[in-house]
Amino acid sequence: MPAQIYSPFTNFNFSNNKCFLTGQNLNSPEEQIQVFPQWLMSRYELEDKPFKLLDESMATYKDLKLPCTAEINELYLEPLENEIAAAFETGYEALKTLDEDKLFLWAGKLLYGIIFNEIQAGIKLQHSQGEEFNISQSIIHKFNNLHMMLQSLNLPIEFDGFKPYSLVLFKVDNAENVFGYRDEINTLTFSLRIKDFGFILCLQDNGANARYHKEALDKIADNILHPIQFEELNARFFYSAYLFNRLPEYDIFNIGDTISLEALPLRGTSSKPLFDDWMNKTYGQVLENFWKNWGFLLLEIIKNPEKPMSFLFNADGEFKDGNELGLQK
């Protein structure tokens, strides 16, 4: 019998007595894993730092957990964590050689863990107000696809000739012990800037955002980025992920014991571009937030509304050397 994909979104089961990945009943309430892995929290002293949920409630990093059977954790998740932890400890050069799918699965598991906790908090809040939990079908569609792909950790799921994500990795001249983490669960966008690297992941776009920014990425090439340059690129990706207006669809085939996912064309039957129009003012607002450490305000950023401030490229569109910016890290 072919392996069965589990979907918690079918019956909206987000209880703590079922494994988040397989739906199996847990043997004990102790069968949990940290959303932010312990090695990462210990390295950056995150355990007791505040983590704000979408309902404005505050948790700590260590409060965020996922129900997971000991077997699934031991067989599939711990080996992945160990491999990622070793690569992170070494830094950029190790990440460059890492299988991109593993970084996708690691970041996807973390982001899904946040989603799981957000949904639990949302259900609890709305039930306390006597309301049914409500979430848009398009969001469910994206979350469900991400969860399905995470099951390639424990099921023979293959991506047939495509990558479901955009991933860009750069060497970054970071300050020591920096922990630069961002996510946007509605667009399933994730970024992390630590050690001597930074990477950005759009987890459900079939590579569309990387193609959208191809010109900029080609100019940056393998250059080392100043942190403000990485955050500028980060802002571009987070904004374009917001502009991306397709919901990727996949055909699922059972081929022998393998579950094969085939991506349907993003364009579909619509003649509409894949991305909504880029608005510099809105982008400037995103950039202001991403540049908060350096104190640049929106009025400065969009002083020229046609050409927002950039530390990545000069007026001629050429890459700027990060060492010559004269800015703090």
Domain residue limits at 28: 7-153
pLDDT at 54: 81
Place of tokens 């894993």: 33
| Residue 259, in any domain of the structure | no
| Residue 118, in any domain of the structure | yes
pLDDT, average across residues 81-107: 97
Which residue, 170, 209, 215, is CA-closest to 189? 209
Lowest mean pLDDT among 19-28, 63-72, 266-275, 306-315: 266-275
| Residue 28, in any domain of the structure | yes
Q: What is the pLDDT of residues 46-80, one digit of tens each?
A: 999 999 888 778 899 999 999 999 999 999 999 99
Total domains in the chain come to 1
SS3 assignment, position 313: strand
How far apart CA 205 and CA 211 sit, in angstroms, is 10
| Residue 294, in any domain of the structure | no
| Residue 160, in any domain of the structure | no
Residue 2 pLDDT class (50, 70, 90 cuts): low
| Residue 171, in any domain of the structure | no
| Residue 219, in any domain of the structure | no
Higher pLDDT, 260 or 269: 260
pLDDT at 56: 78
pLDDT at 118: 92
How far apart CA 268 and CA 238 sit, in angstroms, is 23
The two structure tokens encoding residue 18: 């079922």
pLDDT at 31 over 70: yes
Asked if residue 298 lies in contact with residue 284, where contact means CB atoms within 8 angstroms, the answer is yes
The two structure tokens encoding residue 217: 């990425």
Buried b (16+ CB within 10 A) or exposed e, 173-203: ebeeeebbbbbebebbbbbbbbbbbbbbbbb
Lowest mean pLDDT among 55-59, 139-143, 240-244, 277-281: 55-59
| Residue 286, in any domain of the structure | no
pLDDT at 326: 85
259: buried, middle or exposed (CB in 10 Å: 19+, 13-18, 0-12)? buried
How far apart CA 135 and CA 121 sit, in angstroms, is 13
pLDDT, average across residues 292-321: 94
Q: What is the pLDDT of residues 129-168, one digit of tens each?
A: 777 777 889 999 999 999 999 999 999 999 999 999 999 9
Lowest mean pLDDT among 3-17, 59-73, 233-247, 250-264: 3-17
Q: What is the pLDDT of residues 178-236, one digit of tens each?
A: 999 999 999 999 999 999 999 999 999 999 999 999 999 999 999 999 999 999 999 99
From residue 326, give the alpha-carbon distance in Å to each of 80, 112, 171, 210, 223.
39, 38, 18, 29, 17
Lowest mean pLDDT among 82-86, 103-107, 271-275: 271-275
